[in-house]
Structure 1
């Protein structure tokens, strides 16, 4: 199959691109996301796709959406940041555009992008973790995307790590993303600053702010890169939580490669070093089993778009050709 379109639907922006069989992106476009309106969101998706279709032979459209997607890759069962509830998005967009449409969870799409064209392109078993505001995850086993019986598998960020812990947006308590995500990093940084910690006050000064409420994840990362002790400690703690969770995930799936992406991965070695130490410390039977390699995602913010476009070429199975 030739050209396909990949569409990454976020809470504020819809990014679309024309993608070739080798994963390269040609034309691009974007639209704002009218997150409170199902009809307007579908219309914006169709409008972006139609712009790219004009003048090209496009075979299919792949849509990456944050939320639960049905096993038939057509219906968004639930989206935390959009108004989709049992929304037949695939059928609706296909009816308008008159070409096949595949809908996939955005983290699954990003994982597939890294598997097919990025950091895991040379293996058959991989786990991809996207560490942003929350944690997204995708798993590929024997060259196939793991989706589960109902299409909602591999929600790795909602693995329970602290019984009775912080309340998560999913409604449960103690989910992994409440301790190993950008949201957790900012929460802990602000808490230290509000406690009157002199080290945290120095970190705020390095960030050029005085109000803890203005602190952001990128600010902490930049301060850590500049050597600020408090920021380094915050990222080290985040890495510890990340590594401990990955030890459990590797025990379950035995991947060749663990790929870490998302905004927080910009911290690179400041995060990966402590994550790997915690991983090695907590992996069961660590002296008697092969260990996966760790690597940073290579496709950046385009991973979901590229992955969705490639999955649109594979409407029945996600097996590597």
Structure 2
């Protein structure tokens, strides 16, 4: 199969792109994300038709945040869009006249990194995305592992602290409450409140109060050497690395690929993650260590991965 179209559904925009067999995006189209579930379906179709007109694309892959069934056709649950058992494959196929594959967005991004990014050359990789929350995907033996019901890889909701912090999923102590963009901001606000003098740079970037601190401020302050911001990144990295050590006991991959907005800070966060991973890895002194790599495709990973999964059929 030649050209395919990948679709990445975001909170504010829906991006579609024509992708060739080497993972190169040839053309793109972006439309605002509508507020209604039916509006999102219509917007996906509009974006696909806009970027794919006259190029001879043969299939469409859609990355959707939420639980996607084992047939890669129905979004069982997508809280941000309010989809419940949404027959997305059938609805989009009817509008665009092309075969459609639906995949969880983190799985699509993991596949994109495996095929065309940091995972190239490895058959067994586990990806985590440190964004607002924490997502992930698993490639074992060169195949995307989805589980019996299509819902594998929801790492953010592994409970790592019994009776810990309340999560938006309704559970307590989920990993993403300790290793995510939200967690980073919480750490920074708590530390700035306890030691405002040490957080002078951080506080100056917002409105002067801990409550005015957001993720952009923490990143900028850390780059300027603010000790509170740096310590907040280290706390996030401690939890992220400890979680990777647990995943190593489950999957024993050749590499972990760390993506998402938090990972954009490079070694500021990746080196502490690697250190924590080595610290908590069972039998660390006696076993080979998986590499902990930075994702390479950035925001393109989901779109490229979805397009390639459509190509795989």
What's the TM-score once normalised by structure 2's chain length?
0.97
Q: Which of 213, 216, 222 is matched with 1:215 structurally?
A: 213
Q: Aligned equivalents of 1:202 and 1:117: distance in 2?
A: 38
Q: Aligned equivalents of 1:188 and 1:233: distance in 2?
A: 9
Match in the other structure for 2:176: 177
Q: Aligned equivalents of 1:310 and 1:51: distance in 2?
A: 19
For the residue of structure 1 that corresponds to 2:198, the secondary structure is: helix
The ranges of structure 1 where at least 4 consecutive aligned residues each deviate by more than 3 angstroms after the TM superposition are 194-197
Whether 1:252 aligns to 2:250 is yes
Shift of 1:209: 3.2
Match in the other structure for 2:149: 150
For the residue of structure 2 that corresponds to 1:287, the secondary structure is: coil
CA contact (8 A) 2:106 2:136 kept: yes
For the residue of structure 1 that corresponds to 2:207, the secondary structure is: coil
Q: Aligned equivalents of 2:12 and 2:84: distance in 1?
A: 18
Alignment of 1:268-287 (within 5 A): 268-287=266-285
Alignment of 1:50-129 (within 5 A): 50-129=49-128
Shift of 1:201: 4.1
Shift of 1:202: 4.3
Whether 1:8 aligns to 2:8 is yes
Q: Aligned equivalents of 1:202 and 1:263: distance in 2?
A: 21
Q: Deviations over 1:139-178 (max 9, x none)?
A: 1000000100000011011111101111111111000000
Shift of 1:294: 1.2
Aligned-residue CA RMSD in angstroms? 1.1
Q: Aligned equivalents of 2:135 and 2:206: distance in 1?
A: 31
For the residue of structure 2 that corresponds to 1:93, the secondary structure is: helix
CA contact (8 A) 2:113 2:295 kept: yes
Match in the other structure for 1:292: 290
Shift of 1:288: 1.9
Q: Deviations over 1:98-150 (max 9, x none)?
A: 11000000000000000000000111000111101001100100000010000
Q: Aligned equivalents of 1:196 and 1:153: distance in 2?
A: 41
- Listed as ranges, the gaps of 5+ residues in structure 2 are none
Q: Aligned equivalents of 2:37 and 2:181: distance in 1?
A: 28
CA contact (8 A) 2:187 2:235 kept: no
Shift of 1:208: 5.0
Q: Deviations over 1:216-253 (max 9, x none)?
A: 11211111111111111111111111100000011111
Match in the other structure for 1:318: none
- Listed as ranges, the gaps of 5+ residues in structure 1 are 316-321
What's the TM-score once normalised by structure 1's chain length?
0.95
Q: Aligned equivalents of 1:202 and 1:30: distance in 2?
A: 36
Count of matched residue positions in the alignment of Structure 1 and Structure 2: 313
Q: Aligned equivalents of 1:156 and 1:290: distance in 2?
A: 23
> Cα–Cα, structure 1 residues 298 and 138, in superposed 2: closer, same or farther, change >3 Å?
same
Q: Deviations over 1:175-225 (max 9, x none)?
A: 0000010000111212233346322344212x2531323211121111111
For the residue of structure 2 that corresponds to 1:198, the secondary structure is: coil
Q: Aligned equivalents of 1:33 and 1:227: distance in 2?
A: 37
Q: Aligned equivalents of 1:211 and 1:236: distance in 2?
A: 22
CA contact (8 A) 2:159 2:172 kept: yes
Match in the other structure for 2:31: 31
For the residue of structure 2 that corresponds to 1:255, the secondary structure is: coil
